[in-house]
Structure 1
Amino acid sequence: MSFEQFRAPWWQPGGHVQTIWASLCARYQAQGAQPQPWLRERWDTPDGDFIDVDFSSHAVAANAPTLVLFHGLEGSSSSHYAKATALACAQRGWRLAVPHFRGCSGEPNRLLRAYHSGDVDEVDWILRRLQQGAGGDLLAMGISLGGNALACWVGVQQQAAAQLIQGAAVVCAPLDLVAGGVSLGRGLNRWIYTPMFLRTLVPKALGKWQQSPGVFDKAALLRARTLHEFDDVFTAPVHGFENADDYWIRASAKPLLKQVAVPLLLLNA
């Protein structure tokens, strides 16, 4: 494993500027290109739920590579990075698939469970099904939460991952969820980014409470002001973890990286 030091341009001195600039640049690229509609498929999951998968609609060769993009927390095919990736795939003649984690495609999923950073079973099922329809190489890419989940999967699968994908890229992922969560819970991060996530996470969780009243502490959910508090009251108990700390430790990809047996690019500022 090799590392290359990231050196920011002089006019991007900090993480906030780099984050906002990348978002604006991707939006500008996507808006400047001819928009292509997504082709959506709804897949029934083995446990009686469903996910929606959006495919790029640009023309590709029958043996073209397929890139699978796992979106970040509360992301979707409408996210700026998904649109920018679709543009890049169109320029290269690649097919793009954007599977939505449960509840992220614009419609609530059927079951109580949602999604989380270590959802390796979901990633595995998605990639195995996509491989069946791939005419050429299958490649995987994950952003943020989706990147950590993908990195967990390649670490858990080890040599078996090479039977499904030819390589993977993980972009801006919190591979150490404890460190990432602590960072998001303090300073400017707590006031800039955390409210953006909670603005959609909390209403979705309240919808789950309507499905299964009493399964978690509704009052504590409404008091949540950090991702740790949200994960402690909702994500952890709903997905089989003891609490937020247990979830963050067990779902972090960092300890699994030494087991990866496929070409893997980790891109983090």
Structure 2
Amino acid sequence: MLNHGIKTYPMINPLHWGFNGTVEQHVSDNGSVQIPLKDDKDSVSFQDFVTENVPALKNDAKFKLDPKIFTGILQTMYLSTADYTKSFPIFYGREIVQFEDGVCTADWVRSDWTTKYNQDKKTGSFNKDAFNKDEAETHPENWPRLHPRTRYMSDSELNETHSDNRPVVIIMHGLAGGSHEPIIRSLAMHLSQIDNGRFQVVVLNTRGCARSKITTHALFTGLHTADIEHFALREKDRQPERNLYAVGCSFGALMLSNYLGRVGDKTPLKAAATLCNPWDMVLSADKLQNDFWSRNLFSKTITQFLVRLVKVNMGELEVPEGTEPSHPPTVENPEFYTFTKSNLKKAFKLTKIIEFDNMFTAPCLGFKSGIDYYKEATALNRIQNIAIPLLAINSKDDPVVGDVAIPQEFLNKNSNVLLCDTDLGGHLSYIQSDGDSWSTRALAQFFDSYDKNVL
């Protein structure tokens, strides 16, 4: 378990104001890992590769955000409150992915449906009658309705998706989010459109998120990464010759980095990226509790997202009042025994994520408190085991993660990790004047360049 030596309990971070941002690269003192190039070219360091092929992420690169959204707090608030209903109008085809211990859902970008449903490139409007007819014919009984432009795929459409031999980028979303989030749709759009559709793109929805169902008596945690592991292995087994990549956003970045640190060189992924990863969960939780703006503007909203997630899945999660665990809960053998009606009623009054984890997550995994859970789930515990090139983008003015949770002091443990931190950007935001995100464009360019040039 990590001994927290970065800084302890930050209160209010220095304010970052402005709209002209700067990138700063960080690598191990021993340098960056060498990666082999195609066409008999010499190998190059991962840092030099990014510098040469992704100009937006080179050291001291400049970027410009919307001048009206001039702090990380405003950036983050704008992303969560602005009207993005007509932005990034991609179509998703949903697959229910069956695992040994239940199901999750995977939303595959279906660019071909823009033609199928006569989508107007300028307005995003499409033939809703035809779409709704197909949606009604494919929707499983007793499953929730889906977000706009998302429907379940027919067997033939699923076969088409599975027979696609393009390289795959798997997207992992944030806490209680899903494929419908604006930042995820922006990322999925840029990845699916770059280089005339080079990639097949899929969002792996965490169990219970994005209007999917929890079918087993368990809730996701930062320590349970089997879904991304099994999904990536399934895709590699299906078509062994194609490349697999993954990118995680916020809590999805934590889960992705924990997965990479847990399996090491056994991952089938060729490279990965994280955006706004809460690398140190203890420090990020402290940011949300003790920073005035973070606590009052974001903590309660995130907490109540989680509470509503539990509410809509109580049919599967609920246990009788007074239930005690049948065995001592552990991470490997959890017991979700605290999901009672009375606890749910109390949860609607919670304002802090740690209160939610104290009530639900920690005891079910055998931890005494949410802090103990955070100490164990911190990705910095496993950063030294990441065995593939990992690009990490974090913002110093992130009001959810906090600047002290950015792992500059831990990079010496692994030359595979290239950290690009920025002075501006907020949490999963980086909103420019056109309403789109600087970060999602940069990430798409990174994966495109990597797949084209790296052996």
| Common fold: TM-score over 0.5 | yes
- Equivalent residue runs for 1:65-104 within 5 Å: 65-92=167-194, 93=197, 94-104=199-209
Per-residue deviation at 1:222?
4.1
User: Percent identity among equivalent residues?
Assistant: 23
Per-residue deviation at 1:201?
1.4
Deviations 1:54-79 (A, max 9, x none): 10112599442110001110111101
Q: Which residue of 2 aligns with 1:58?
A: 111
Q: Which residue of 2 aligns with 1:17?
A: 74
Distance 1:121 1:96 in 2: 20
* Deviating more after overlay: 189-198 vs 138-147: 189-198
Q: Which residue of 2 aligns with 1:177?
A: 281
- Equivalent residue runs for 1:116-131 within 5 Å: 116-131=221-236
Asked if the contact 1:38–1:56 (Cα under 8 Å) also holds between the matched residues in 2, the reply is yes
Per-residue deviation at 1:167?
0.3
Equivalent AA in structure 2 for residue 111 of structure 1: T
Equivalent AA in structure 1 for residue 274 of structure 2: V
Asked if the contact 1:23–1:81 (Cα under 8 Å) also holds between the matched residues in 2, the reply is no
Distance 2:233 2:306 in 1: 28
Per-residue deviation at 1:122?
2.5
Distance 1:16 1:191 in 2: 11
Asked if the contact 1:71–1:142 (Cα under 8 Å) also holds between the matched residues in 2, the reply is yes
Asked if the contact 2:105–2:212 (Cα under 8 Å) also holds between the matched residues in 1, the reply is no
Establish whether residue 159 from structure 1 lines up as the match of residue 159 from structure 2. no
Asked if the contact 1:221–1:234 (Cα under 8 Å) also holds between the matched residues in 2, the reply is no
Per-residue deviation at 1:212?
1.1
Per-residue deviation at 1:111?
2.2
Establish whether residue 212 from structure 1 lines up as the match of residue 319 from structure 2. yes
Q: TM-score, normalised by structure 1?
A: 0.86
Establish whether residue 245 from structure 1 lines up as the match of residue 371 from structure 2. yes
Asked if the contact 2:95–2:105 (Cα under 8 Å) also holds between the matched residues in 1, the reply is yes
* Deviating more after overlay: 2-11 vs 14-23: 2-11
Cα pair distance change 1:63/1:123, threshold 3 Å: closer
Asked if the contact 1:205–1:234 (Cα under 8 Å) also holds between the matched residues in 2, the reply is no
Distance 2:300 2:215 in 1: 26
- Equivalent residue runs for 1:133-144 within 5 Å: 133-134=238-239, 136-144=242-250
Aligned to 2:382, the other structure's residue is in SS state helix
* Deviating more after overlay: 11-20 vs 164-173: 11-20
Q: Which residue of 1 aligns with 2:360?
A: 234
Cα pair distance change 1:32/1:205, threshold 3 Å: closer
Distance 1:211 1:111 in 2: 11
Per-residue deviation at 1:237?
2.2
Distance 1:190 1:8 in 2: 29
Distance 1:6 1:19 in 2: 22
Asked if the contact 2:108–2:201 (Cα under 8 Å) also holds between the matched residues in 1, the reply is yes
Per-residue deviation at 1:136?
2.1
Per-residue deviation at 1:267?
0.5
CA-atom RMSD in angstroms:
2.8
Task: Note the residue ranges of structure 2 that are not aligned, 5 or more in a row.
Answer: 1-25, 29-58, 113-160, 322-336, 396-455
Cα pair distance change 1:240/1:125, threshold 3 Å: farther
Deviations 1:82-123 (A, max 9, x none): 211121122221111111111103133122311122222222
Q: Larger relative contact order (C-alpha < 8 A, sep ≥ 6)? A: 2
Task: Note the residue ranges of structure 1 that are not aligned, 5 or more in a row.
Answer: none
Cα pair distance change 1:87/1:184, threshold 3 Å: same
Establish whether residue 36 from structure 1 lines up as the match of residue 98 from structure 2. no
Match of 2:388 among 248, 262, 265: 262
Asked if the contact 2:236–2:242 (Cα under 8 Å) also holds between the matched residues in 1, the reply is no
Per-residue deviation at 1:46?
0.7
- Equivalent residue runs for 1:140-151 within 5 Å: 140-151=246-257
Cα pair distance change 1:98/1:85, threshold 3 Å: same
Aligned to 1:103, the other structure's residue is in SS state coil
